[in-house]
Amino acid sequence: MNSLPEIESTYRSQLLETQQRIASAKQQIYRIALLRISVFAGGVVATVYAWPLGAVVVVPVMLLFLVAFLYLVKVHNRCFYKKDYLEKKAEVNAQELQALGYDFSAFNAGEEFIDPAHSYSYDLDLFGNSSLFQSLNRTVIRRGELTLAEWMKHPLLKKGAIINRQEAVQELTANRVFRQKFRVLGLLYKGKLADEDEIRQWAQSPSRYYQKRVPKLLSVLIPVANAITLSLLLLDVIPASLFVLQVVIFALASTIYSRNITKIQSVYGAKMQILNTHSKLIELIENQYFRTANLGQLQLRFKQGNHSACLAVHKLSKLLNGLDQRNNILVAFVLNGLMFWELRQMMHIEAWKEAHASQLPDWLDALGEMDAYCSLATFAYNHPIMCTLAWLSIRFA
C-alpha cells in the first residue's frame, strides 16, 4: 500500500514526464507538416514535367506522389492524436493532484441525480457540489455516470454480490496504469456524453439502402465501368477527356442519394464518432487480464465466440470516418464519380448495423460498469487509509 506522499509523487512525476513528451510531439508535427508541403510541391512539378510524355508516364507519377502524400497525412494524424492523448494524460494527473487536496471541481457533481424523494441520498447530500459522488466520479462515458449514480442510490444487499464488487475494485485499485489509460482514452472524445443516447436511437432506426436492389447494382456497376474506361485510356484506345467526362457524369448522378445521406450524417455523423473512443476502451478491456469474477464476466460480454466487440466497433468507426470524406467537396466529387463512394459507405454502415446493432446496448452497459469500477478504484487508490467492509463469520452459542 502506497502512502499519500508516494501517491502525490507518482502523479507529479507522471505530469512532468507527460509535459516533456508533449513538447516533443509538437516538434514532430511541425517537421511532418513541412514534409507534406514538400511532397505536394514535388508532385506538382513532376506532373508538369511528365505531362508531355502522355498518360502512361503521368498517371504513375501522380499515383506515386499521391500515395506518399496520403501516407504522410496518415502519419500526421497519428501525431496529432498522440499529442491530444498526452495533453489529456497531463490533465488527468493534474486533476488527481487537485483531488488529493480535496478540490473536486474538475469532476461532474451529479446534480441531475438529486432526488428529494429518495430514501437517503438527498438527506446525505450524495449528489451535488462537494458531494460524495463528485469526489468519487471519474467517469468518462454517460453510461458510466449513470451506473455509478445507480450503485450509490441502490446499494447491493447480498453478501456475495458485495464481496465480488469489493474484490473487483481492489483489483483495479492496484492497476493504476489501466485506470488512467481508460480515463485518458475516454476523455479524448470531444462531444457530449449524452451522444450515447443518439447511438442507441441509431441502432434501432431502419436501414434505407442496405439490401435494396438498385443501390447494390450501382455500387458494383459504376466502379466496373470506370475500371474498363481507365484501362482503355492507358492503352491509348480512348482520349483522357472521355474518361473525365464519364467520371463527371457519375459524380453528378450520385447526388440523387446525397440529400438523404446528408440528413442522416447531420443527425448522427458527429455523434457517432464517440464509437472511435469506445472501440479503444473495449480494446483496452479485452487485452487486460482480470482475476476477479466480476471483471472477468464483464470482459466476456465483449467476446462472443470468435467475435470481438473491439474489432466490430473499430470497423464501424472506420466506415464513419470514410463517410466524412464527403465533407471535402473536391474529394467527394472524385470518389463519387469513381465508385459512388457515399452510397457504398452508407450500405457498409447499414450492413454493420444489421449484424451488430442488437449487441451495441450491452456493450455500452458493460463499458459503463467498468467506468464506474475505475471511479471507485481511483478513490480507493488516492485514500489508502480508508478501509472496505470486512465480513466475519461468528457463531453464537
Q: Which amino acid is at 28?
A: Q
Is there a domain that residue 194 lies in?
Answer: yes
Compute the residue count for the chain: 397
Judge whether 116 and 102 are in contact, CB under 8 Å: no
Domain end point (choices 103, 125, 149):
103
Domain extent, residue 198, equals 187-371
Pairing mode, strands 307-308 and 303-304: antiparallel
Question: Which residue did the predictor score with more confidence, 140 or 391?
Answer: 140
Residue 175 counted as domain residue: no
Rg (CA), the chain: 27
Clarify whether residues 347 and 247 are in a common domain: yes
Considering the domain architecture, whether residues 209 and 95 belong to the same structural domain is answered as no
Residue 112: how many CB atoms within 10 A of its CB?
12
Cβ pair 86, 185 in contact under 8 A: no
Residue 288 lies in a domain: yes
Query: Residue 243 corresponds to which cell in the numbers above?
Result: 474518361
Would you place residue 135 in the very low, low, confident or very high pLDDT band (cuts 50, 70, 90)?
Answer: very high
Q: Same domain for 194 and 96?
A: no
For residue 349, give the 3-state DSSP assignment. helix
Q: Tell whether 169 is covered by a domain.
A: no
Give long-range contacts, CB 8 A cutoff, 24+ apart: 147-154: 147/365, 147/368, 147/369, 147/371, 147/372, 148/371, 148/372, 148/375, 148/376, 149/110, 149/113, 151/372, 152/121, 152/126, 153/113, 153/115, 153/118, 153/121, 153/126
If asked whether residues 202 and 86 sit together in one domain, one would say no
Are 97 and 205 found together in one domain?
no
pLDDT of 329 reads: 74
Question: Considering the domain boundaries, does residue 366 fall inside one?
Answer: yes
Is residue 227 domain-shared with residue 325, that is, in the same domain?
yes
Q: CA-based diameter of the chain, in Å?
A: 104
Domain finish residue from 74, 103, 132 = 103
Return d(Cα 313, Cα 197) in angstroms, integer: 16
Give yes or no: residues 340 and 200 share one domain. Answer: yes
pLDDT digits (tens, 9 = 90+) for 236-262: 888 888 888 888 888 888 888 877 777
Instruction: Answer for the pair 148, 136: CB distance below 8 angstroms, yes or no.
Output: yes
Q: What is the DSSP letter of 72?
A: H
Verify that 316 and 197 share a domain, yes or no. yes
Phi and psi of 146, rounded to 5°?
-65, -40
Number of domains in the chain: 2
- Asked whether the predicted pLDDT for residue 185 surpasses 90, the reply is yes
- Identify the three-state secondary structure at position 307: strand
Nearest Cα neighbor of 366 from 315, 290, 268 is 290
Q: Which of 41, 73, 103 is the last residue of a domain?
A: 103
pLDDT in tens, 311-351: 888 888 788 777 777 666 777 788 878 888 888 888 888 88
Indicate whether 197 and 310 sit together in one domain.
Answer: yes
Tell me, yes or no, whether 84 lies in a domain: yes
pLDDT in tens, 16-66: 999 999 999 999 999 999 999 999 999 889 888 888 888 788 888 888 988
Give a yes or no: residue 157 inside a domain.
no
Same-domain pairing of 200 and 69: no
Cell numbers at 304, concatenated: 462472443
Residue 123 maps to a domain = no
Angle at Cα 367 formed by Cα 175 and Cα 144, nearest 5°?
90
- Whether residues 63 and 206 fall in one domain: no
pLDDT for position 206: 74
Residue labelled with grid coordinates 497519428: 78
Together in a domain, 206 and 319: yes
